[in-house]
Chain A
Amino acid sequence: MLLIRCPYCEQDLPELEFANAGEAHVVRSSDMVGLSDEEFETFFFIRENPKGISFERWRHVHGCGRFFNAARDTVSDTFLLTYKAGEPKPSLDDLEGQKK
């Protein structure tokens, strides 16, 4: 069971309080209707699925209820960072340095 830091509650809490919500920083277009089929496919189906640092969303569903983002190493399963929704995507290079 992972231990996850909720950036809103500022506490490390057990995974049971959270729900994973998929890849982070997938932007919903402000002009959805204008998307081509290919763009829609990319938005809705295509995923990075990285072996390494993954940017992903979690919801503190049995806590404050907030969605937030995390950078986690999918090889070691360790969290490098969690941050609030809306905050900019951290630089991959900075994070690589933190990896164990």
Chain B
Amino acid sequence: MTGSNRIAGYGEVSRSKPVTFTFDGKTYQGFEGDTLASALLANGVHLVGRSFKYHRPRGFLSAGPEEPNALVGISRDKTRSQPNVRATIQELYDGLIAESQNRWPSLTFDVGAVNDRFSRLFPAGFYYKTFMWPRSAWDKLYEPFIRRAAGLGHSPTEADPDRYSNRYAHCDLLIVGGGLSGLTAASEAAKSGKSVILCDENPVLGTGLRSDLRTKFSGKSARVHLNKLIETVRSAENIQVLTRTTAFSYLAQNMVALAERVTEHQASPESDAPRERLWQVRAQKVILATGAIERHMVFDGNDKPGVMLANAAQTFLARYGVAVGAKVGVYTATDTAYAAAIALHQAGIQVPVIVDARSGTLSAIGEEARLLGIKVVNNAFIKRVNGRLRVQSMVVEHQGTRETFDVDAIITSAGWTPSLHLFSQSRGKVAWDQETRRFLPGDYAQECQSIGACNGTDTIAELISEAVSAARWGIGSRARAKPKIPEIEDEVPASGGMIGADKGAGPDNPVKAFVDFQNDVTAKDIRLAVKEGFHSIEHVKRYTTTGMATDQGKTSNLHGLAIAAEALGKDIPEVGLTTFRAPYTPVSFGTFVNHNKGELFDPTRKTSIHDWAVEQGAAFEPVSLWQRAWYFPQDGEDMHAAVARECKTTRKIAGIFDASTLGKIEVVGPDAAEFMNRLYTNSWTKLGVGRLKYGIMCREDGFIYDDGVVGRLGENRFHVTTTTGGAPRVLNHMEDYLQTEFPDLKVWLTSTSEQWAVIAVNGPKAREIIAPLVEDIDFSPDALPHMSVREGKICGVPTRLFRMSFTGEMGFEINVPSNYGRAVWDAIWDRGAPIGMVPYGTETMHVLRAEKGYIIVGQDTDGTVTPHDAGLSWAIAKSKPDFVGKRGLERPDLKADGRPQLVGLKSLDGKTVLEEGAQITNRMNPSGPVDIQGFVTSSYWSETLQSPVAMALVNGGRSKMGETLFVPMVNETHKVEVCDTVFLDKEGGRVHG
């Protein structure tokens, strides 16, 4: 079909460029420049969807973003589908595939429409009153049924293959809305040298006025005036124009978020273009020129396909050359609908009647309509609409008499609602204007002005002056010249209007007069809510769901408010307005996510030795932002086998481990030792240069915050290590105290985590492997004892060589500049591999340290554990007057008996590896409430000891040495014996080699 409802000589579509698309499997033709809505209407298709609750047939209400009814699914291919697209803004492209929603089996025959037959059973809030019996039926019966019936379109089911992008922008002036007001303001700001961004949600600028074929600007059509403005704005170098770009959220400090649709209108999107782009614009000043939205009349059957807003019909005609019907009835409470009716009439469409809810004498435009031969009935209303899938006739009541008019479309207007969405989001306060009965911008909270229809400025001349002065404010211009205003003729300003239901849908008429179309909320639903005590407008909204559909109540909110106010017997401002919540119109999740997905979701930190581990086939585990080698499986080993081999070999020969992820902080300055004294529980004053010490850091509350080995490289220089995940917060913690509590201390802190690669070599052969590579360091056991550090060279590069051990074996941690990490690692590997040295990962590291009872902060402690609890009382200096955590440790509960204490656990069967996290009880078969005594923090199979080793936090654990406790699992209970945390080499001889 090619569209039999096109009217020659009308519209801006390219009639030489036909476009083919399908709707519900049927192929249609439209033209380039059409929206899906205009193309469907051109083909006589009015029925496009079903409502949410009653599944009532629905057509197009509007021609724009406020559309509640005409939602369709659009797909390009299997992976590129999108539900709930407003047909009124979807631009047509060749090959577009659209499907109607929320109907089964078909749009014309929808089983769900049975709800409409029984709608008396489903008033507002009905589900709160029923479905309660029997109790179990909610989960199994009622809720699944309700869920299936609800929802509109279908979610995509495959990953989105498209890409999105993100821009931050700064400008002097952001103008939101490229209608006449916004264009006038932008044109005034052209050539000002100030940076200006003008955005508009439509593909073309000036959309509101483009539909106006009547008003003359100095004798010429509105489009001529618009085109001149557009030319000025487009050619101004200081103005960036963004079309298809919706300002959807007005945030703090003049940040406005925009969503730009880049390829959604293209038949074959450019492969490198993003689908949508998020703009976060920080503007010095903002001008809101967001226009106004027409309201529908509230009457029985106002939702039937063919009933639409007057301005929508005018837009379909003027911009797309489409007649919305052959015989169009008009129902209005404002003058602008007359202009629409006259436009339709002049295009050859029959307009049998204009029904005006207002009484009194006709306005000039009313007389004009009458002179054109259109019947005008005042003080009348539409009583009923006939037709099911399309309007067939309307019954008009006028002073007690009824008359039926055959029509195939009805256009309505109850007036215009200024768009305050962004103004309100900017935290501006809206104010009720009693004279014009509408909400307008009141007090502003940010550097922002509203102009034009959104500011309640109704005439073009006033609007132009307002736009010019706002632009001058926006660019800081001192110009005082009177704006040039063209001579405006035949203008029909927005005026009059009504809010709420008209007579035919008054309190005594229980008809289906829709307020909120998509959610099927009628005037009587709102009255019922009020009757049931829902008196706050927020309650009415939530109880009836009015204004909560995908259109967020753009056409309905004021009607709902007025009906509630009437039912309450209150004035509208007393009842209040619901909050305008962002986004203005829905925005794809992908637009927010843009590049932050997959690998870019979060940075991945890799050590300089990472690639070596990859080459060796290591398995990795994520630890904070790092990827760490977990274990190095050989020849099909599983994790258990690999770890057993790595452990055994390290203890027998040697193992090499990448410890580069350790946090490292250089603490330097004349007061470095004093600073360390205050930040760590230990005493640092007497630590000799070249010596190492294990340090514990607490928060002020006395709980362990971090730990690590610290080396003193000079009187005034400490090399501090932290846990892998803890490095940033430890540095922050140190900086905080240094800058704000101890600013008198002369200390400088530098993060060196990324500067040093750390290669740990442990095992009886460790010295033998690395000694030949080391220069300038006396490597003899006496000169470099356990827990000492020396600076020198290895493989010719500078090193800080730590002699220390986290395995219980003789160990060295070789710090070299990261750039040389891989080279030094390779050199050590070349020496160690031939004698049997193995690489090991974090899992083996965990086992080896657990055999020795060394804790891991975050695993054996959890933020509620003191150094005393962890068995580290020895690391708390008694003589220091103060350190961070000292006072906290003195609080009653931290000194109480029975606190959890870290102990070792032996499985009495000699073979069970307890599960980490398993709970510990006093009794074998606890009955009733279980008295939990603690939990397993670390647990491994020790290949060296040929037995399990475990650590646990147990209430009063250190006084329970040798006692038997129980670890109940699902199928069995394990018996364990409380023991020391050191399982291997209690005397500690092995570290000396």
Give the B-binding residues of A (Cβ under 8 A): 1-3, 14, 19, 21, 28, 32-33, 35, 37, 40, 43-44, 57, 59, 61, 65-67, 76-78, 85-86, 100
B735's closest neighbor in chain A, by CB? A65
Whether A77 touches B739, Cβ cut-off 8 Å, given contacts A33-B886, A37-B891, A100-B445, is no
Q: B700 contacts A37, CB within 8 Å?
A: no
A-contact bits for B735-749, CB 8 A (1 contact / 0 none): 110011101000000
Q: Which residues of A contact B740 (CB under 8 A)?
A: 57, 67, 85-86
Q: Can you list 30 A-B contacts with CB-CB less than 8 angstroms, sorted by A residue number? A: A1-B251, A1-B252, A1-B253, A2-B252, A2-B253, A3-B255, A3-B282, A28-B700, A32-B882, A32-B886, A32-B887, A33-B881, A33-B882, A33-B887, A35-B887, A37-B892, A40-B887, A40-B891, A43-B700, A44-B700, A44-B888, A59-B732, A59-B735, A65-B735, A67-B735, A76-B427, A76-B445, A85-B739, A86-B743, A100-B445
Q: Which of B869-917 contact A (CB under 8 A)?
A: 881-882, 886-888, 890-892
Q: B253 contacts A3, CB within 8 Å?
A: yes
CA distance A44 to B728 in the complex (A): 22
The smallest C-beta distance from A22 to any residue of chain B, in angstroms, reads: 10
Interface of B is mostly: mixed
Q: Which residues of A contact B251 (CB under 8 A)?
A: 1
Q: Which residues of B contact A65 (CB under 8 A)?
A: 735
CA distance A86 to B165 in the complex (A): 42
CA distance A14 to B445 in the complex (A): 20
Q: Does B491 contact A (CB under 8 A)?
A: no
The smallest C-beta distance from A35 to any residue of chain B, in angstroms, reads: 6
Q: Which residues of B contact A37 (CB under 8 A)?
A: 891-892
- In addition to A2-B252, A40-B887, A57-B740, 9 A-B residue pairs with Cβ atoms within 8 Å of each other are A3-B255, A33-B887, A33-B890, A37-B892, A44-B888, A59-B735, A76-B445, A85-B743, A86-B743
Q: Which residues of A contact B701 (CB under 8 A)?
A: 44
Q: Which of B258-295 contact A (CB under 8 A)?
A: 280, 282
CA distance A85 to B736 in the complex (A): 11
Q: Which of B253, B743, B888 has the most CB of A within 10 A?
A: B253
The smallest C-beta distance from A83 to any residue of chain B, in angstroms, reads: 13
Q: B882 contacts A21, CB within 8 Å?
A: no
Q: Which residues of A contact B743 (CB under 8 A)?
A: 85-86
The smallest C-beta distance from B69 to any residue of chain A, in angstroms, reads: 36
Q: Which residues of B contact A43 (CB under 8 A)?
A: 700
A35's closest neighbor in chain B, by CB? B887
Sorting the interface of chain B by its residue count into under 10, 10 to 19, 20 to 34 or 35 or more gives 20 to 34
Q: Which residues of B contact A35 (CB under 8 A)?
A: 887
Of the candidates B280, B736, B888, the one whose C-beta lies within 8 Å of that of A40 is B888
Q: Which residues of A contact B280 (CB under 8 A)?
A: 1
A-contact bits for B416-460, CB 8 A (1 contact / 0 none): 000000000001000000000000000001000000000000000
The smallest C-beta distance from B6 to any residue of chain A, in angstroms, reads: 48
A85's closest neighbor in chain B, by CB? B740
Whether A67 touches B739, Cβ cut-off 8 Å, given contacts A19-B732, A40-B887, is yes
CA distance A100 to B252 in the complex (A): 14
Q: Which of A1, A2, A61 has the most CB of B within 10 A?
A: A1
CA distance A28 to B888 in the complex (A): 13
B168's closest neighbor in chain A, by CB? A14
CA distance A2 to B427 in the complex (A): 15
CA distance A1 to B256 in the complex (A): 10
CA distance A33 to B887 in the complex (A): 5
The smallest C-beta distance from B669 to any residue of chain A, in angstroms, reads: 16
CA distance A100 to B445 in the complex (A): 7
The smallest C-beta distance from A79 to any residue of chain B, in angstroms, reads: 9
A-contact bits for B705-749, CB 8 A (1 contact / 0 none): 000000000000000000000000000100110011101000000
A28's closest neighbor in chain B, by CB? B741
Q: Which residues of A contact B882 (CB under 8 A)?
A: 32-33
CA distance A85 to B735 in the complex (A): 12
Whether A21 touches B252, Cβ cut-off 8 Å, given contacts A40-B888, A40-B891, is no
B254's closest neighbor in chain A, by CB? A3
CA distance A33 to B890 in the complex (A): 9
CA distance A66 to B738 in the complex (A): 10
**Which 4 residue pairs are nearest across A and B when measured between Cβ atoms?**
A32-B887, A3-B253, A67-B739, A28-B741
Q: Which residues of B contact A2 (CB under 8 A)?
A: 252-253
CA distance A19 to B251 in the complex (A): 19
The smallest C-beta distance from A2 to any residue of chain B, in angstroms, reads: 6
Of the candidates B255, B445, B891, the one whose C-beta lies within 8 Å of that of A1 is B255
A3's closest neighbor in chain B, by CB? B253
Q: Which residues of B contact A59 (CB under 8 A)?
A: 732, 735-736
B741's closest neighbor in chain A, by CB? A28
CA distance A65 to B750 in the complex (A): 11
CA distance A3 to B168 in the complex (A): 14
CA distance A14 to B764 in the complex (A): 54
The smallest C-beta distance from A3 to any residue of chain B, in angstroms, reads: 5
Q: Which residues of A contact B253 (CB under 8 A)?
A: 1-3, 78
Q: Which residues of B contact A77 (CB under 8 A)?
A: 252
The smallest C-beta distance from B881 to any residue of chain A, in angstroms, reads: 7
Q: Which residues of B contact A21 (CB under 8 A)?
A: 736
